[in-house]
Structure 1
Amino acid sequence: MTSFPQIDAVYETHLPVRDLDRAVEFYHDTLGLELAYRQEARGMAFFWIGGQQTGMLGLWQAGSAPMRMVLHMAFRLGQEAVLAVPAELKAKGAEPLGFEGEPVREPVVIGWMPALTVYCKDPDGHSIEFLCPLPDAPDPDFGIGPWSRWLQR
């Protein structure tokens, strides 16, 4: 049996949104993504993530229904960038969140990975994560906690 070719990254993901204009404003103005293409007639917009060769996010206008799917995606950033995310989100009117959805002032670390991370919600309630894999050895006993506590270990 032959092995499947190694997958080294997620290139694109797509999200349903209730209000395309509001979602485009969030992803462009709040998160700073580059609008790649928008087609009003089909109710869709695409954004480059790190440029055309790196990744893409697609947003699709959907009807509101009583049971709608809420999704999660994570953007990979450098360590200094993740450390700056909470203040940047606050400055743009978005709430930085921890792993359990609690408001945070600094990123949290997921010890078993380990990864430095901050979350927020987009206008449709989708979970957006900003993540930097850390070069440190995994520490499952740490659990999930603030960056400042990780540094004090």
Structure 2
Amino acid sequence: MIKGLYETHIQVSSLENAVIFYTEILGLKLAHQDENRRIAFLWVGKEKEFMLGLWEQKENLQTRHFAFTADKDDILNKSVTFLKSKNLNPYNFLKNGNEKPMVFAWMPALAIYFNDPDGNQLELISILEGDARPELGILSYEEWLEKTS
């Protein structure tokens, strides 16, 4: 019966700033904004395929994590440059100072992280072909290729 995830919602400290960040910086499309309720809905990818809700919360802001689907080649070859060009700091899951995407071998998937202005942890992720290898843990894409080829 369940076929996927349609929408997720996060809290933001300024609805106006968040709408600018998600539309002008990340390229999402504004679907609807309700000034009375201080929320906005954005299309992620194609219209009506996936939605992100932004809820203004002035006190006790609770940050969240979610991931955007991206192409493997874009994550490997463009993501870090793109994020830095938008004054965003890319980091890997280990937060060890390395800006290179990493592989979660248990899925397997390639991912890179960054934060929105409110500290919500965002991720670009691409599921990789091949079998899961959970025993390999979290490793660089180059190590993944060496160990699985």
Pick closer, same or farther for the CA change 1:86–1:70 going to 2, 3 Å: same
Q: What's the TM-score once normalised by structure 2's chain length?
A: 0.89
Q: How large is the Cα RMSD of the aligned pairs?
A: 1.5
Task: Map Cα deviations across residues 106-153 of structure 1 (whole Å, 9 max, x no partner).
Answer: 211001110011111111111111111111221222211222222232
1:116-127 aligned at under 5 Å gives the runs 116-127=110-121
Q: Which residue of 1 aligns with 2:137?
A: 143
The 4+ residue runs of structure 1 with deviation greater than 4 A are none
Aligned to 1:9: 4
SS in 2 for 1:104: coil
Between the aligned partners of 1:76 and 1:9, the Cα distance in structure 2 is 13
Following superposition, the deviation at residue 36 of structure 1 comes to: 1.3
Correspondence for 1:71? 64
- Report SS of the residue matched to 1:15: strand
Residue type matched to 1:28 in 2? Answer: T
The Cα shift of 1:57 comes to: 0.4
Long gaps (5+) in structure 2: none
Which runs of 5 or more structure 1 residues have no equivalent in the other structure?
A: none
Aligned to 1:92: 86
In structure 2, the partner of 1:42 is 37
Contact 1:87/1:105 (8 A) holds in 2: no
* Cα distance between partner residues in 2 of 1:82 and 1:8: 25
TM-score normalised by length of structure 1: 0.87
Aligned residue pairs, count: 146
Give the share of equivalent positions with the same residue, in percent: 38
SS at match of 2:53: strand
Structure 2: which amino acid aligns with 1:126?
A: N
Paired residue type of 2:120 = H
Structure 2 residue identity aligned to 1:74: A
Aligned equivalent of 2:104, options 89, 103, 110: 110
Q: Is the 8 A contact 1:119 1:128 kept in 2?
A: yes
Q: Is the 8 A contact 1:101 1:119 kept in 2?
A: no
Which amino acid counterpart does residue 147 of structure 1 have in structure 2?
Y
CA distance in 2, matches of 1:49, 1:102: 29
